[in-house]
Chain A
Amino acid sequence: AQSVTQLDSHVSVSEGTPVLLRCNYSSSYSPSLFWYVQHPNKGLQLLLKYTSAATLVKGINGFEAEFKKSETSFHLTKPSAHMSDAAEYFCVAGLFYKLSFGAGTTVTVRA
Chain B
Amino acid sequence: NAGVTQTPKFQVLKTGQSMTLQCAQDMNHNSMYWYRQDPGMGLRLIYYSASEGTTDKGEVPNGYNVSRLNKREFSLRLESAAPSQTSVYFCASFAGPSGEKLFFGSGTQLSVL
Interface of chain B residues 2 through 29 with chain A (CB within 8 A): none
Q: Is B106 interfacial (CB-CB < 8 Å)?
A: yes
Residues of B in contact with A, size category: 20 to 34
Contact across chains for B33 and A99 when beta carbons are under 8 A apart = yes
Most buried by A among B43, B48, B50, B105: B43
- Main SS class of interface, A: strand
| Interface residue ranges, B against A (CB under 8 Å) | 30-31, 33, 35, 40-45, 48, 50, 90, 94, 96-97, 100-102, 104-107
In chain B, what residue has the closest Cβ to A4? B42
**Number of interchain pairs (Cβ within 8 Å):** 55
Distance of A65 from chain B, by nearest CB (Å)? 14
Give A65-111 interface residues, CB cut-off 8 Å to B: 90, 92, 94, 96-104
Q: Which residue of A lies closest to B31 (CB)?
A: A97
